[in-house]
Structure 1
């Protein structure tokens, strides 16, 4: 008879192993004292709530203070919690409500689906929804949509309230510019900072450049309002700020329906209040400084708020550093063979962050001429085959695939309608309905994603097809280029990537990238 040895069950850590690691997330919309008290209450609540359940193990509390809930990118603690979920440090998330978690339907569903793929569920207390056992995404979509509508409504109410305060002159500037402090809602001169403001305006009036003023302040170890370093952009912004004259213009920026902020170029009303607070700079000095800045711009060929400001040279904004991703700036050397060159803006600011050295402008021009001459000489062997292949991708077969997906989506919707009808008449058990409906919703989502992917690919191909056709047409008719043409460069090149001082890549608008060696 065979000998059988029993291996006893290990129950020592069984309870501990089955415990769920539960994290809590909470958020308050503003940083007022009342809201922060609410945050303290939520923190205490979740600590006791999680610890009271013997099957749960507290995995931490994540909370964002004074941050709007309209976009997940603006909530660092939420993003940190998601990162911990990806690192398998959390099994379950508890939060007060959908509106506390996300007031944007897209963000809410995206986060829920992302966590579900990781096997992590969310429990919304107020709505009593657990994404691990929820009937479908339909209810969550509706509730998060309502939360988003609520957020938009609150934003509109706040805008109306602010507009009224603009109109009657009672709006309080909570964060005044450098040179002022906020004292009981009023702008009061900070004498120590005011001296720096007067120095900046005096320097502008004496003929100093904004770059030189910024360098002098940094050498003197003078900090900006936020404790950072001075830049020419900061100086220009201060010189153009009317608040230093004692006047104030309200609504110089505005927020659109997607919660993105823009400079007000006349899209919204603006409100001017004279003698709103104590002045640091006289109106005469302020206007004189504006005239100097404007005159310097004209001398350099710049126009305020004009595209020419960003694209006055063919390569402006088009050259990207392959090492750090920074944009190249045009530099004029006072001596040497390479008088005009382009250099990485990150390298200019801090050589330790990027070691990419300057590249002469003539090298870019020569490389572009070389590339275009290759197209002109060999368009039959390069561009024509590419055009034929792109036309093949945009065939009737691809359009047929999209139509087939549309038919499947219609059938899916009809099946869900039938399920709803059967459920309403009592012919279908709730459990069976939920299971079938979830399967149909998942199938519909998969079909939609597939259609979006094909459509996006097709749209890109149509664009590429048009660009390749234009390039082929040019190369067929053009003669060999003997010199650089900025208009041709801007017509066909999207951007230039500098891999090294010996090699660059031209990313063309037709979707291909060609590398060229820099010859010196």
Structure 2
């Protein structure tokens, strides 16, 4: 659906007024509003096309996919360059399995030996650079034991999901404790509007003189910088409010997910892994460090190739 790919607040029923403004009333020329005239954000201005929860969830997913276009270090130049990820998110572990030693993600490989094919997971750094890689102890993991270890950890959580949800709730409360889910304070808009009026007055007074006054540039810069500071402060509060709402939504989703999980899930479940696990770090030797979305961390040892 096209609307789901667009970061337009109108789709969820909100409206940002005066994104542009008229600079020439004769030609009707309009330009982007970069703070010269007031802007107003109106929540629930009209009937939404999609629910806000879905809108925020899609934006979060877009951000996650964008992160796949990662910055990679080239050993020859030792400079950062943008490198579009060549790896899809077909496998849940592609997004969460990483080398604890160098920080690079693990990638799935298919090995063939004596006519038999087997899947393994290897550190991307070791794949690209071999023995020259900065991580000297990252193991190659057999897929089946890896899957079994992850499902064992998930089953332990599912069997004792009361503690799991309790820990998650505590983490959520800790994170959003200083955040406000109330309406954004109007003081920012009031101060910004007052300063915008000052700028308009400054421009009008300067225009009457027919030439640029000596102190015009300095005063214009001072007011503009103050407006920008207030906008950044307001933006921070807006982001914190949305983050608090997202955490609450995630808590609700976690509750729903665990209610649908049957005890002792045997087969590896890509969707379940995506929903419950945040990261898995592969330490040297055979040790996995599995961090759940709740903040709970479990360690597990598995079979591996040297």
TM-score (norm 1): 0.34
1:487 to 251, 268, 271: 271
Residue 193 of structure 1 is matched in structure 2 by none
Cα gap change, 1:333 to 1:344, in 2 (>3 Å):
farther
1:459 shift after superposition: 3.1
Residue 381 of structure 1 is matched in structure 2 by 166
Cα gap change, 1:321 to 1:482, in 2 (>3 Å):
same
| Offset from partner CA, 1:462-509 (integer Å, 9 cap, x none) | 33332222112322454433423222113344553324344444466x
Cα gap change, 1:501 to 1:411, in 2 (>3 Å):
farther
1:380 shift after superposition: 4.6
Residue 40 of structure 1 is matched in structure 2 by none
| Offset from partner CA, 1:379-438 (integer Å, 9 cap, x none) | 3521233444566555345x334x332322222211111211222233998233333222
CA distance in 1, matches of 2:236, 2:290: 27
8 Å Cα contact 2:206-2:212 kept in structure 1 = yes
Cα gap change, 1:334 to 1:429, in 2 (>3 Å):
closer
Residue correspondence of structure 1 range 406-445 to structure 2 within 5 A? 406-426=189-209, 430-445=213-228
Cα gap change, 1:405 to 1:344, in 2 (>3 Å):
same
CA distance in 2, matches of 1:413, 1:467: 39
Residue correspondence of structure 1 range 331-350 to structure 2 within 5 A? 331-332=110-111, 334=113, 340-349=119-128, 350=130
Residue 98 of structure 2 is matched in structure 1 by 320
CA distance in 2, matches of 1:491, 1:410: 44
CA distance in 1, matches of 2:176, 2:295: 19
8 Å Cα contact 1:320-1:497 kept in structure 2 = yes
Residue 352 of structure 1 is matched in structure 2 by 132
8 Å Cα contact 2:94-2:105 kept in structure 1 = no
Matched, 1:446 2:225: no
1:358 shift after superposition: 0.8
TM-score (norm 2): 0.55
CA distance in 2, matches of 1:463, 1:423: 47
User: SS of the residue aligned with 2:215?
Assistant: helix
1:362 shift after superposition: 3.9
1:443 shift after superposition: 0.8
8 Å Cα contact 2:291-2:298 kept in structure 1 = no
Residue correspondence of structure 1 range 77-476 to structure 2 within 5 A? 310-324=88-102, 325-332=104-111, 334=113, 340-349=119-128, 350-353=130-133, 354-355=135-136, 356-376=138-158, 377=160, 378-389=163-174, 395-397=180-182, 399-401=183-185, 403-426=186-209, 430-476=213-259
Cα gap change, 1:371 to 1:425, in 2 (>3 Å):
farther
Unaligned 5+ runs, structure 2: 1-33, 35-75, 77-81
Cα gap change, 1:470 to 1:432, in 2 (>3 Å):
same
User: SS of the residue aligned with 1:341?
Assistant: strand
Cα gap change, 1:471 to 1:364, in 2 (>3 Å):
farther
- Number of residues of Structure 1 aligned to a counterpart in Structure 2: 211
Cα gap change, 1:514 to 1:451, in 2 (>3 Å):
same
CA distance in 1, matches of 2:283, 2:188: 42
Unaligned 5+ runs, structure 1: 1-140, 142-227, 229-259, 263-306
User: SS of the residue aligned with 1:518?
Assistant: strand
Computing the radius of gyration over CA atoms, which structure comes out larger, 1 or 2? 1
CA distance in 1, matches of 2:245, 2:286: 34
Cα gap change, 1:448 to 1:330, in 2 (>3 Å):
same
